[in-house]
Amino acid sequence: MASTSFKHIATLFKKDLLLEVRQQYTFYGILLYIASTTFVVYLTLGQPEYETWNALFWVVQLFVCINAVAKSFLAESRGRMLYFYSIAGARDFVLSKLLFNAVLMLLMTALSLVVFTLFLGDAVEKFLPYLGISLLGGMGLSFVFTFLAAIAAKAQQQAALMAIMGFPVVIPELLLLSKVSKIAFADVVQAGLWQMLLLLVAFDIMVIILSIILFPFLWKD
């Protein structure tokens, strides 16, 4: 049973990956958005202080995630969904979406960090901790918006509905990420760091569990 489930997840993940490689417009469109936004910020602010640098980075990550993840369910037609329903279970399908969007967002986060460093200066004192927190935060954002995209796909005005539902949910995570990531700009370790990191991990696990539990009800609809 577990091997069959893993095979379904791997096959669906491969399908999304092949579509992304074949089309590529999403990847290059998001990359252009990152580069153009960062360049405009550079023309406006030059090389800002670390607090502004950090805030701008997470704002860009938010909109990158929305653009990258929004199509995960919205691009699937009803005919495709019926086909996937016949060959795989709801749990395998949503796990493959969560996995693919997490990998895509990890890549986009790393590219964003490189572009920010090139244009806005190397404001990060501890690069490796900041990279780890950024990857964790990007993955968490992808989980949230994948789950919201699954809900919004069942309603009209899907993209708008996902954004409306997403902002109240994701604001606490963004605030926590912004606070945790400040450790990379300081010489001393921030108090309560590990508790905040564990809270981020717990939040990601909670979203995955909710997706596994609730998506089958959407799937049957």
pLDDT in tens, 52-85: 888 888 888 888 888 887 676 666 666 666 677 6
Provide the domain limits for residue 60. 2-220
Residue 133 predicted with pLDDT over 70:
yes
> Smallest Cα–Cα separation from 95: which of 1, 213, 197?
213
Residue 167 predicted with pLDDT over 70:
yes
**Total domains, the chain:** 1
CA–CA dist 4, 109 (Å, integer): 32
List, for residues 22-38, the tens digit of each pLDDT value. 777 777 888 888 888 88
What pLDDT does 54 receive? 85
- If you write DSSP's letter for every residue of 27-43 in order, what string do you get? HHHHHHHHHHHHHHHHH
Rounded mean pLDDT of the chain?
A: 80
- If you write DSSP's letter for every residue of 38-84 in order, what string do you get? HHHHHHHHSS--HHHHHHHHHHHHHHHHHHHHTHHHHT--HHHHHHH
Do residues 74 and 149 lie in contact, with contact meaning Cβ atoms separated by under 8 Å?
A: yes
**Residue range 97-102: average pLDDT?**
90
Do residues 113 and 178 lie in contact, with contact meaning Cβ atoms separated by under 8 Å?
A: no
Q: In this prediction, what percent of the chain has a pLDDT beyond 90? A: 3
